[in-house]
Every structure is written in C-alpha cells, then in structure tokens.
Amino acid sequence: MKKKYSGVWATFEFLDDTCGAIKELKKAGINKITTHAPCARHEIMHALGNPQSRVPFATLAGAFIGFGLAVLIIVKMSLDWILPVSEKPIVSVPIMGPIAFELSVLISIFFTIGAMIIFIVKDTRKQPLPKSDEYKQYNRFLRDRFGVVVTCKTDDLPRIEAIMKDYQAEEIYLEN
C-alpha cells in the first residue's frame, strides 16, 4: 500500500516572507522543511540553518583515485614495453605530472557528478514531497515564486497553515 502523505505547502512572492516563514517554522520545532526557489539563494540556506553538502569529500576521493590510477598506468605500461628515450629512465617520474593531473581532474569530476546525484536523491527521499497534482503541476517555482513544503502529522496542519498565513503566503495547500 502506498504511504499516505500529510503536510502543507505554500507559495510566496517575496524572499523575505519565505525566509521569515522558514525561521518561524524552525522556531516552532518543525524541521522537515523543503523549500523551492528560482535560483540558489543564500538567505534561504541561512534560514534553514546553513546545511552543508558532503560533495567535496567525493571530489577529493576521486582526485586521489585518479592520481593513483595515473601512476599505476604509467609504471605498468612503461615496464611492460621498454621504450628507451634518450637518457631518461624507463619509469620517469616527471612525466607522471601531466597525466596524473589530468586523470585526477577527470575522475574527481565523475565522482562529483555521482555524489551530487546520490546526495540529492538521498536527501529528497528523507523528506517526502506532496503527491497532489496541484503540487506536481505547479510551474512557477523556477520562474518567479518561492515555495515552502512542510511534511507533518495531520494534527499539526492548522498550526503550520497559520504560520504560512502570517508570512503572507500567496497560496496554501493542505494535504492529508
């Protein structure tokens, strides 16, 4: 059986109203908040308590793996097929520089993309979103409207609706 969703979502015309509503919701002990914005706004992140992304760890891991892979490739291939070039050693350290750098960059980029996708999906699953057609078809979040979505119990709906109204939400939808 499909899990039933219960929560409130509201749209805002102004950024300061949106941030005010988020801060008030947090003060009221509500932490399952998802916001929508037409662009990245640091004001919203501040209101949400400055959450941190874990993507850089994946980038760093990718860089190390790329570097190691480059060294491995060069050493293995140089020893496999001996190609003497002037007086240079068969396994030459300086030549590892450009290739190790390029592979570190390449693999770290792949890891960054992978981490972004994984973390976005994971965080979105933690806080389910409304399932109604109104929400799914609302198409102004990437145009000129801000949105606040709160997942809560049915009993909390009126309290959250009141907070949204206080901050002059344009439209408020209750879902249960």
Residue 124 interacts with other proteins (CB under 8 A)? yes
| Residues 129-158 interacting with other proteins (rule: CB under 8 A) | 129, 139-144
* Ranges assigned E (strand) in 133-170: 146-151
Minimum distance, C-beta of residue 155 to other proteins, in the bound complex (Å): 25
Nearest alpha-carbon partner for 20 in 40, 43, 50, 51: 43
Which residue has tokens 């809560």? 152
Give 6's contacts (C-beta < 8 A, 6+ positions apart): 151, 152, 153, 154, 157, 175, 176
Contact 66, 103 (CB under 8 A): yes
| Residues 13-32 interacting with other proteins (rule: CB under 8 A) | 13-17
**In whole angstroms, what is the distance from residue 51 CA to residue 164 CA?**
22
Minimum distance, C-beta of residue 157 to other proteins, in the bound complex (Å): 21
Residue 98 interacts with other proteins (CB under 8 A)? yes
Nearest alpha-carbon partner for 162 in 34, 58, 15, 10: 10
Residue 37 interacts with other proteins (CB under 8 A)? yes
Residue 166 interacts with other proteins (CB under 8 A)? no
Residue 119 interacts with other proteins (CB under 8 A)? yes
Q: Which stretches of the chain bind other proteins, using CB under 8 A?
A: 13-17, 33-41, 43-45, 48, 51, 53, 55-56, 59, 73-74, 77-78, 80-81, 83, 85, 88, 92, 95, 98-99, 101-103, 105-106, 108-109, 112-113, 115-116, 119-120, 123-124, 127, 129, 139-144, 168
